[in-house]
Structure 1
Amino acid sequence: MIRSLGIALCAALVVFWQAPAAADDAAASSVAGLPARYLLMDANGRAVSNEDFPGRLQLISFGYTFCPDVCPTTLAEMAAVLNALGPDAERLQAIFITVDPERDTAGILRSYVSFFDPRIVGLSGSPALVRRAADHFGVRYEQVREPGAAADQYAVDHSVGMFLLGSDGRYLRRFAYAMPAVEIVERIREIMSASPQRLPLPAR
């Protein structure tokens, strides 16, 4: 898995630093009226919600660890955003929510996100809680299985892109898939500059 992730990571670096900017305004407007809430579990079995990171923005993506291309690209982009922010990265919490809770165990999810950046938090939960979180972000996903395939042999078609929540845990905007990381960083810095005060960070 690590070797394949490494290949995907190299390809991803080319895509999101050199790709032209994507038009994400339409996608953002389609999510703006949704609650953008979640209540899930981290890799240590602790309950985590969108209200648990006061003073920090949240950059969130949905995917799964068996994803062959889109998810590795998105997580590599998340890591690049964190690195580009430098010290300001402490004001941003990156989060990856699995849409495949049946296969993405706590251990698998922890190893997967840590490969890209240990600061990324992987979240999962019961199928019902994951579905509820996805619905709150307007994310759609479904299992796709070839005829005759084993029960645990399937892909998951899912919505792409990343969501940004404010320091109060409320939805701010959506970044389209393959939007260059440099542009995402610019947008995040603009928001941080508008709210320069650093609130106490929670101990986690």
Structure 2
Amino acid sequence: MASRGLRALLTVITTGVFAATALTACSHDDAPWQLTNVTGHLPDLQFALTGDDGKPATGDTFKGRTSLVYFGYTHCPDVCPETMGRLMQVVDALGPDAQHVRILFITVDPARDSAQALHDYIGAFDSKHAFGLTGSDGQIEALAKRYRVAYQMEKRDPKGNYEVTHSSAVYVFDADGHARLLATDHDSPDVIAHDLRRIIDAHS
């Protein structure tokens, strides 16, 4: 369960992004986006982390394809597997266009999520389109701050296990690494796929 303070922070973050978007949503495209348009309100896709293959990975590694970025962790009991399952439905809905999409699963629990742990986790979903990314605590904290992602370690149980409360949004970056859209758990796979096709077509 999220603490009251973190729930409030998540609300402020989401409200802030949505409010900024509302001011300019109609000026970027002839037709409105079904997802939340964050064009111009979030920084480009930039990071220096370690991929689930153990090799260094940066934002440039994934340029040329539309990136769906999600911050989660492998021990997550519900939200993360549900979100990954939903993104797999998006990949299926895209059909041949899925080759232009990469899902980047960035851990908020680097203490437990080694490259190998992420590799095994991602492999259970889709090792072709999805990639796991980990790093030091400092690297993850800085990246989360860059994209206004809130997360918090919860208290350990008697066995030493713990959960991490975290934002659940999926960030969409175009092939040039520019932040474009924000998808929430209220957006269906078909809605996400619809807007992704527009971004893919614009960079074809």
TM-score (norm 1): 0.77
Distance 1:44 1:149, change over 3 A: same
Question: What is aligned with 1:108?
Answer: 117
The question of 1:136 aligning with 2:146 is answered: yes
Distance 2:142 2:46 in 1: 9
Distance 2:133 2:180 in 1: 20
Identity of counterpart residues, as a percentage?
35
The residue correspondences of 1:79-94 to structure 2 (distance < 5 A) are 79-94=88-103
The question of 1:157 aligning with 2:159 is answered: no
The residue correspondences of 1:124-203 to structure 2 (distance < 5 A) are 124-146=134-156, 149=158, 152-196=160-204
Distance 1:118 1:109 in 2: 11
Q: In structure 2, the residue corresponding to 1:116 is in which secondary structure?
A: coil
**Would you say the 8 A contact 2:70–2:169 is kept in 1?**
yes
The question of 1:122 aligning with 2:132 is answered: yes
> Residue 178 of structure 1: CA displacement?
3.4
Q: In the TM superposition, what whole-angstrom CA distance separates every residue of 1:63-102 from its partner, at most 9, and x where no partner exists?
A: 0111111000110111111122122111111110000000
The question of 1:34 aligning with 2:42 is answered: yes
> Residue 38 of structure 1: CA displacement?
2.0
Distance 1:178 1:116, change over 3 A: farther
The question of 1:66 aligning with 2:81 is answered: no
Structure 1 counterpart of 2:149, one-letter code: V
Distance 2:154 2:62 in 1: 34
Q: Deviating runs (4+, > 6 A) in structure 1? A: none
Distance 1:27 1:87, change over 3 A: farther
Structure 1 counterpart of 2:201, one-letter code: S
Q: Which moved more, 1:174-183 or 1:25-34?
A: 25-34
Distance 2:20 2:111 in 1: 29
Distance 2:73 2:118 in 1: 8
Distance 1:75 1:168, change over 3 A: same
Q: In the TM superposition, what whole-angstrom CA distance separates every residue of 1:89-127 from its partner, at most 9, and x where no partner exists?
A: 111111100000001122211111111111210000011
Distance 1:43 1:140 in 2: 23
**Would you say the 8 A contact 1:38–1:132 is kept in 2?**
no
Distance 2:66 2:52 in 1: 21
Structure 2 counterpart of 1:89, one-letter code: A
Distance 1:65 1:123 in 2: 11
Distance 1:46 1:27 in 2: 38
**Would you say the 8 A contact 2:106–2:133 is kept in 1?**
yes
Q: In the TM superposition, what whole-angstrom CA distance separates every residue of 1:41-72 from its partner, at most 9, and x where no partner exists?
A: 10222111222222211011010111111000
Structure 2 counterpart of 1:157, one-letter code: T
TM-score (norm 2): 0.77
> Residue 161 of structure 1: CA displacement?
1.4
Structure 1 counterpart of 2:94, one-letter code: L
Distance 1:183 1:44, change over 3 A: same
